[in-house]
Structure formats: structure tokens, C-alpha cells
Amino acid sequence: MDKTLKVGEVIVNRLGFGAMRITGEGIWGPPKDHDEAIRVLKRAVELGVNFIDTADAYGPEVSENLIHQALYPYDGLVIATKGGLTRGGPGMWTPDGRPEHIREAVEGSLKRLGVEQIYLYQFHHPDPKVLFETTLGSFFELQKEGKVRYVGLSNVTTEQLQAAIDMGKITSVQNSYSVLNRDSEAVLEICEENDIAFIPYFPIGGNTGGLSEQTLQAVAKKYSATERQIGLAWLLQHSPVTLPIPGTGSVAHLEENMKAADIVLDADDVAQLDSLAG
């Protein structure tokens, strides 16, 4: 199993960090413990993370600001962010795919992160009120202007991904996907065929309970690991293009997550886990 993956021009370690949960409850406002959030970001880099995913909607703005405070000038790091979702309060997310909003969003992210170019800028969520190609076109325009180096997608269908590939170079896709949730399996297959990094979020998300949960628990026990660690290990072994981004606001939880990269599941256990689909 290769522990690295090329994203654009940079080789990154295949366990990244998702910076959504360094914000407040409901992904709204500042974290309860600001200093711990800073420690989490710094410790992630110490543990070998060099791909960090965030979004302007996390907080909103809080996650990007914390990343700047903790990690700027990002030596050796890929900071990927997203635009296209707005917030109305804790747990409230509203797509906004208007090109004028995307342009405003990227300018805000550039300022908060303190950079002149965002290495990987991702279309956070398609907006049913705006033609997908219209929104995505604004990302490619920003790329031509040099404000964005590479373009990625998030929360897309196979049809949307194929439409995007027809429009230009897509570097990454970020969808919910796990050992218990294979709804995006076909999206992953397209990514494999086109050398696109697939960034799964919610690493053990999906239908839980019954046989699936029992099997996951049994495999975890065999390796003296947590179910989350097994879910991450399975993601790393399931496809060479996966780039999981487990997130947390706790250093202890972060360190636990990162140990998943050292777990090598045997063929029988991989087969058992492959058979689970939520």
C-alpha cells in the first residue's frame, strides 16, 4: 500500500486532516478551546500530515483563520479550501453557486489564509438554483486568473463529475464515503480511471447496527484498534486514490486517528469489510 498520493504537483501523505471540527458546536463560531485547536493543527503537521482541508463555511471563516494563525506560511503543506456554501446558523448550510458569490468567496479565503493563490479550491456543494456548469465555470476562470491553482469538487454525482471532466482538469473529489457507506462507489471508480484524488469524509459514516457493526467491531478487536481506525485503514487499502481527512478538535483523538496509517489489514479482513455496504 502506497502511503502517499500526488495531488496536482505535490506528493502528500494519504492521511490528511479535515479542519471542520476545530470550530464550535454545529460547525458554528469559535472552538470552546482555542489553544487546543491550535495545538491540534500543529500536532497534525508534526505527525506527518501535509494535506489540510478546510472551507470558508466552517465557522464560518473560523477554520481558515485558525489555520493561518497556527501554520502560516505553510511550508511543505497543501491547504485546500472550498467555496459555494453559506451559513445561517449552527447546522444550517445553504448552497450558493452564483459566480459572483464564488468570486467573493475566493477573495475572502485568499485574505484569511494569507496567500496569493489557493493550491486546491473545491466547489463545496452544487446549488440546485444555478446550473452546475455555470458555477464550475467560475472556478476555472479563477484558475486562469491565477487565484486558484487546481480545481476540485465536493458532494457531486457521477453525472456532475463527468460534466466537470468535460469542462477541464479536475484534481480532486470530496464525497461522503466509508466502509459502511458506498453511495459514491461509482464516483470513486471515475476518479480511479481519471487519476483524480478521492477525498472521503465521514470515515465510518453510514448505516450502523446489525451485522455490519458487529463485523467492524470484530475486526477492530483483532487489531486492538478502534472502529474508526479500521475504517480509515480500510479506506487507505480500498483504493490507491483515496485521501481520507479525519478531523477532530482533540490532540488525543488526532493521535489515535493517525495510527490508522500503520494498520495493514489482511486479505480476509479486507474481504469481510468490502462486503459491508450501508
User: Catalytic amino acids?
Assistant: 58
Q: Is 62 exposed, middle or buried (0-12, 13-18, 19+ CB in 10 A)?
A: buried
Q: What angle do CA 226, 277, 164 make, to 5 degrees?
A: 105
| Helix H or strand E segment including 169 | none
Cell numbers representing residue 264 in the block: 495493514
Amino acid at position 195, single letter = D
Place of cell 477573495: 107
**CA distances (Å), origin 147, targets 58, 81, 150, 154:** 21, 13, 10, 19
> How far apart are the C-alpha atoms of 205 and 237, rounded to whole Å?
17
SS3 48: coil
Task: Please give the full DSSP string across 191-217, using - where no structure is assigned.
Answer: HHHTT-EEEEESTT-B--SHHHHHHHH
Q: Count of CB atoms within 10 A of residue 101's CB?
A: 19
